[in-house]
Structure 1
Amino acid sequence: MKEFIRKNAVVLAVGLIMLLMILGASLILNNKASMVKNNIIQKESESITMATNDLLYHSLHIIDLGVRIYGFTKKEEMLNDVKRAFHDMDPTFETLEARLAAQSFKGADVKKLHKHYLDYARFNEQMIEKARLDSMEVFKSMLAEDKGTELWKHWYEVSEKIKAFEAEQSLQAVTSYEAAQNNTIYLQLLMLSLGLPTLGFIIFKIKNDDLALRNLLVNLEENNRQYIFNPGTELLANDPKTVIDHSIHRFKEASELIKRIASGDFEADWNGLTITNRNLNEDNLAGELLKMRENMKRVREEDEKRLWSTEGLAAFSEIVRNNQDQLEKLAHETLIYLCRYLDVQQGSLFIVSQDEQQNEDYLEMAACYAFNKKKHLQKRINIGEGVVGQAYLEKETTLLSKVPNGYTSVTSGLGEATPTCLIVVPLIYNDQVAGVLELAGFQVFADYQIAFLEKAGEFVASAITTVKIAQNMRRILQASQQQAEELKAAEEEMRQNMEELQATQEETDRRGNELERANAEAEVQKQLMVQNIEKLKEKERENEVQAEELRQNLEALASTQTELENSKQKIQAILNKSPMGILVADQQGSISLSNQPLTALTGFTHEELEKHAFQTSFKFLQLGKLREGDKKRTKTIRKDGTSFMTEVYVTTLEASWLLYVRDVSMEVQREQQLGKSMENAEHLRRKAAEHEAELMARISQLEKKEPLT
């Protein structure tokens, strides 16, 4: 108890003074209220007394005098005041009764007086009526009854009671006010006797505390320089306001720097940080924030590159998917898109073709691009010839940052110039080169752009292979149909000339061998499609590895951010820049964290996701059956009720689930298309087998000289 009083002596002293001041203020307010109440009571008493007197002077006297004058003069205007008195009698008594009732005055006497007034008014109305009929004798006899004196006696009795009651009310109000005044005087004397010693103690305590405060400020300034920011200037802690302002300014500077970094301004710097004091601020808050800025800047650049590649590949795959049926259009559209997306000035796309006469492969230009205009040129490059032919043989990307003069030129209406950078990318699918892409421009290609081109090359190579397979299958089918027509024509000739049967059989055998080769090619194409599906699965595994790397980066960043203020906003800002949807949910499905790509996918806001949207949007995902490392494809419901396919990669984060959500609708469509392509290939194979069987049946019928059905 003593220790508590010692530590809180100033607070207790100030509290005592404040308590006395509050009591004094309360008594002052009470005095004021008493004075106001006293004034109201006195005014009300005076008003009620005047109202009581008015009953005599403005009612009784006016009625009595007015009726007397009218009885002798017969002038109707003499009754105007009498009529007003009659009219005001009831409202006057009702008001008086209400005001007295508000003061708890018993109103039975007032009501009786009111009744006497009403009787007196009816009596005077009879006198007026007699005067109008000129019955003056009756009028005089009624006047002689002197009803007014009788009414005055009643009024006097009641008015005395009212006056005595009102006097008592005023006396009570005055007594209450005087008692409140005396209490105020006593309290002020008490405040004076206790306040002076207390103030002296407070002054003594404040001086001692001021010395401790100065020592504390020196310690605060030293800690601020050690842990927040050190300007490298002389340490001055004489002025508390200056020290506190410096401390607040440093915190504001840290908060402002964090906000700017969180908003994406990675060029923000700490104000006051110079070359001379930079080495003093490597391990404090200022230095750590700048390190965090550089890390976040690097992460954002990587995310932007990854997002650029992802968006580009998504749009590119859509172009490839929409032009899979026409090889020439596929080449032109893909080349135009790549040139515009990478902002290059020239480009050409070569597709591997076969010279049937020489039985060797060569590269044929399928499309070219220069300043957004097509140049329909015929160009052939042999394998191993030049940079393009060599890229085919080596199966590796070739990048030339110094293009020799005369190799190629970009021409416009103002002149021409040699590009400064050239890249040649082989289009490889299943370790087979389907073509070569050549791009030229005035900017050096970055590593992520080269990787983008190589991935895009896989898509183009796959599409080219698919188109060629489809063309071969159509060519085989057309050949089979042509063979059937030729057999029908040969049937008639064989009936007339059996000598030509042997030649027809040989021709039929040769075509049967071609059908066998077509079946073998169809089987090879089917195997290529299976390999294509395996390639897609390999890409999915690569996406899983990327998701795992992203999770590790997020955990490392979360560990760093917990040492700073507002860590959740920092993590949220980083998550929002991820191209994948991310959410953190507990075992019951309550979402504690989500990022912007996830809200864009589902249409729910962060608040809606955290409240109830998990069971709505991810109701097909059973949390109780999830395991670390699971990867599931599930149908996800958007806020507007529509659904789409997502791939969810599951990992743990402390006691919660960390889920990476990726929209795989396009991949599902591509897989479905591949499945359809395989079905088409199988259908063509069955057709070929049917044609082969039909040909064998026709040959057998011709040998037996039986008519064809």
Structure 2
Amino acid sequence: MKDLLIFIAIVFFGLIPFGYAVVRVLYRKTIVFTAALLVFLASMFCAIVAFAVSEFGFNSLYWAIPLCLVFLLSTNFFIKRLIQKPLKDLRNIMEEAATGNLNLRIDAQTLKPAHEIGAIARSFEKLIGSLQKISSFADEIARNNFEIQYNLLSQKDQIGISLLNMRESLVKAQEIEAQRKIKEEQENWINQGIAKFSDILRSHSDNINDLSLHFIRELVDYLKIVQGGIFVIDEENPEDIYYNLQAAVAYNRQKLIEKQFRVGESLIGRCAYEKLPIYMTEVPENYVQVTSGLGEASPRSISLIPAVMEGKVYAVIELVSFHEFPEYHLEFISKIGNNLASTISMVNIHEQTSKLLTESRMQQDELAAQEEELRQNMEELIATQEEMKRKEQELMKIAQQQHDLFPEEV
């Protein structure tokens, strides 16, 4: 019995510390350390049992076998608690994550150990956090929040790079779609305006004054600007052609002013000469003043658009605004300017035709009056001739009577 106690003391106070030190040096921070330590302790226990059997014989198995079973069960309990359970929990979490569920939480006891299982758990937790970050970023993109920032996990973050590329593509697509919608709205605005002013031109195509006034009034209102005017060509004298201010509107009120410019004179004449639009954002001093009840103010931009048809400028449209003209406004004005030129041409032809018809009617009336006068003169002449003939016959009759009464004297 004394030898057994000495052997046990050597095992516990000599071999076990030495074996623990060797195992710790070889398997530090690894799950193998726990397994190796349990195996080492089991070996030492088996050595003690074997020594006891050699000292006391097989009678010692009556207490040794139950003691071994208790030790083995204890070893199994620690192996399950320290190795199998963390692995099982980690496997369950991984399987759950494989289904797409990222709302997971790894137990702190699984994360705490410094061995491989703890390292795997911490790495997997980091992976879950990265996937949650990616998922959150994707959700923000789905909500059209393209301003959210995303920092790549590393230079090899393929999912992050793909998401950033996707966001950039979506931003470009959104910009293109926004530009398309703006362009579509502008085209609709232009088409509606063209239809509206086509009706105006058609409704007032019989008088150039009414046409000019209604056209510029509606144009100022449609563009939401402060002032506008139409200078229409006057070619009554082919050697002295000029553009006369036919109608002007400011703050939606007709301006009763008279201005006229010859070709090449001032900006109006220059626009008519060059047959090209003039757009100014730096308005010369004293060029134009916009007057309201609050006083006078200088405009910010002026647009001059020629109304051209077949190379001939029939009118110049002058528009004044406190804001710069958008590009599509200028495009719209240019299009309706061409329609205006066509209408003015038809109005001029109509007026010339009406003038010729009036002159023709006057000439016909004069000819009819002259014919009536000639007819009356002819009737008077015929009546005079008949009277003279009648008087001649009476004279001849008297002469004959005298001859018959006084033949010797005759």
TM score, norm. by length of structure 2: 0.58
Please say if 1:460 is aligned against 2:347.
no
Structure 1 residues 396 and 447, CA gap change in structure 2 (3 angstroms): same
What is the identity, as a one-letter code, of the residue corresponding to 1:454?
A: S
What is the identity, as a one-letter code, of the residue corresponding to 1:430?
A: E
1:377 is matched with which residue?
257
1:269 is matched with which residue?
146
Q: What CA distance in whole angstroms lies between the structure 2 residues aligned with 1:468 and 1:480?
A: 18
Please say if 1:406 is aligned against 2:251.
no
Match of 1:431 among 308, 311, 317: 311
Structure 1 residue 295: Cα displacement: 1.6
Match of 1:395 among 256, 275, 284: 275
Give yes or no for contact 2:226–2:290 (8 Å, CA) kept in 1: yes
Structure 1 residue 243: Cα displacement: 5.6
Match of 2:139 among 252, 258, 265: 252
> In the TM superposition, what are the counterparts of 1:443-458 in structure 2 within 5 Å?
443-458=323-338
Please say if 1:301 is aligned against 2:178.
no
1:322 is matched with which residue?
203
2:167 is matched with which residue?
286
Q: What CA distance in whole angstroms lies between the structure 2 residues aligned with 1:344 and 1:456?
A: 17
Structure 1 residues 384 and 236, CA gap change in structure 2 (3 angstroms): farther
Give yes or no for contact 2:137–2:150 (8 Å, CA) kept in 1: no
> In the TM superposition, what are the counterparts of 1:593-612 in structure 2 within 5 Å?
none
What is the identity, as a one-letter code, of the residue corresponding to 2:305?
A: V
Structure 1 residues 274 and 340, CA gap change in structure 2 (3 angstroms): farther
What is the identity, as a one-letter code, of the residue corresponding to 2:264?
A: G
Q: What CA distance in whole angstroms lies between the structure 2 residues aligned with 1:379 and 1:272?
A: 61
Q: What CA distance in whole angstroms lies between the structure 1 residues aligned with 2:215 and 2:152?
A: 51
Q: What CA distance in whole angstroms lies between the structure 1 residues aligned with 2:198 and 2:182?
A: 24
Q: Deviations over 1:336-359 (max 9, x none)?
A: 121122222111101111244x74
Whose relative contact order is higher, 1 or 2, with alpha carbons under 8 Å and at least 6 apart?
2
Structure 1 residue 366: Cα displacement: 0.8
2:51 is matched with which residue?
none
Q: What CA distance in whole angstroms lies between the structure 1 residues aligned with 2:134 and 2:153?
A: 21
What is the identity, as a one-letter code, of the residue corresponding to 1:366?
A: Q
Give the match's secondary structure for 1:406: coil
Structure 1 residues 273 and 388, CA gap change in structure 2 (3 angstroms): farther
Structure 1 residues 451 and 491, CA gap change in structure 2 (3 angstroms): same
Give the match's secondary structure for 1:271: coil
Structure 1 residue 241: Cα displacement: 6.4
Please say if 1:475 is aligned against 2:355.
yes
Structure 1 residue 423: Cα displacement: 1.0
Give yes or no for contact 1:391–1:397 (8 Å, CA) kept in 2: yes
Give the match's secondary structure for 2:140: helix
| Structure 2: gaps (5+ residues) | 1-84, 103-121, 155-159, 379-410
Q: What CA distance in whole angstroms lies between the structure 1 residues aligned with 2:131 and 2:161?
A: 21
Give yes or no for contact 1:214–1:237 (8 Å, CA) kept in 2: no
Q: Deviations over 1:160-179 (max 9, x none)?
A: xxxxxxxxxxxxxxxxxxxx
Q: What CA distance in whole angstroms lies between the structure 2 residues aligned with 1:438 and 1:254?
A: 48
Match of 1:348 among 229, 246, 252: 229
TM score, norm. by length of structure 1: 0.35
Q: What CA distance in whole angstroms lies between the structure 2 residues aligned with 1:490 and 1:333?
A: 44
Larger radius of gyration: 2
> In the TM superposition, what are the counterparts of 1:20-39 in structure 2 within 5 Å?
none
Give yes or no for contact 1:282–1:288 (8 Å, CA) kept in 2: no
> In the TM superposition, what are the counterparts of 1:96-135 in structure 2 within 5 Å?
none
What is the identity, as a one-letter code, of the residue corresponding to 2:178?
A: K
Structure 1 residue 438: Cα displacement: 0.5
Give the match's secondary structure for 1:377: coil
Q: Deviations over 1:249-300 (max 9, x none)?
A: 344323221xxxxxxxxxx5243358999x9678532222112122222222
Q: What CA distance in whole angstroms lies between the structure 2 residues aligned with 1:423 and 1:475?
A: 35
Structure 1 residue 397: Cα displacement: 0.2
Note the aligned Cα RMSD (angstroms): 3.5
Q: What CA distance in whole angstroms lies between the structure 1 residues aligned with 2:123 and 2:301?
A: 59
2:15 is matched with which residue?
none
Paired residues, what number? Answer: 270
Q: What CA distance in whole angstroms lies between the structure 2 residues aligned with 1:368 and 1:307?
A: 27
What is the identity, as a one-letter code, of the residue corresponding to 1:305?
A: Q
Give yes or no for contact 1:422–1:438 (8 Å, CA) kept in 2: yes
Q: Deviations over 1:146-194 (max 9, x none)?
A: xxxxxxxxxxxxxxxxxxxxxxxxxxxxxxxxxxxxxxxxxxxxxxxxx
Give yes or no for contact 1:434–1:461 (8 Å, CA) kept in 2: yes
Please say if 1:310 is aligned against 2:187.
no
Q: What CA distance in whole angstroms lies between the structure 2 residues aligned with 1:458 and 1:345?
A: 23
Structure 1 residue 304: Cα displacement: 2.2
Give the match's secondary structure for 1:284: helix
Q: What CA distance in whole angstroms lies between the structure 2 residues aligned with 1:435 and 1:276?
A: 67
Structure 1 residue 408: Cα displacement: 0.8
| Structure 1: gaps (5+ residues) | 1-202, 221-234, 258-267, 499-709
Structure 1 residue 368: Cα displacement: 0.4
Q: What CA distance in whole angstroms lies between the structure 1 residues aligned with 2:153 and 2:188?
A: 39
Structure 1 residue 240: Cα displacement: 7.5
Q: Deviations over 1:478-513 (max 9, x none)?
A: 222212211111113334669xxxxxxxxxxxxxxx
Structure 1 residue 444: Cα displacement: 1.5
Give yes or no for contact 2:201–2:211 (8 Å, CA) kept in 1: yes
Q: Deviations over 1:55-82 (max 9, x none)?
A: xxxxxxxxxxxxxxxxxxxxxxxxxxxx
Please say if 1:441 is aligned against 2:321.
yes
Give yes or no for contact 2:279–2:301 (8 Å, CA) kept in 1: yes
Q: Deviations over 1:638-680 (max 9, x none)?
A: xxxxxxxxxxxxxxxxxxxxxxxxxxxxxxxxxxxxxxxxxxx
Structure 1 residues 212 and 492, CA gap change in structure 2 (3 angstroms): closer
Structure 1 residues 445 and 281, CA gap change in structure 2 (3 angstroms): farther
Structure 1 residues 287 and 352, CA gap change in structure 2 (3 angstroms): same
Q: What CA distance in whole angstroms lies between the structure 2 residues aligned with 1:284 and 1:269?
A: 12
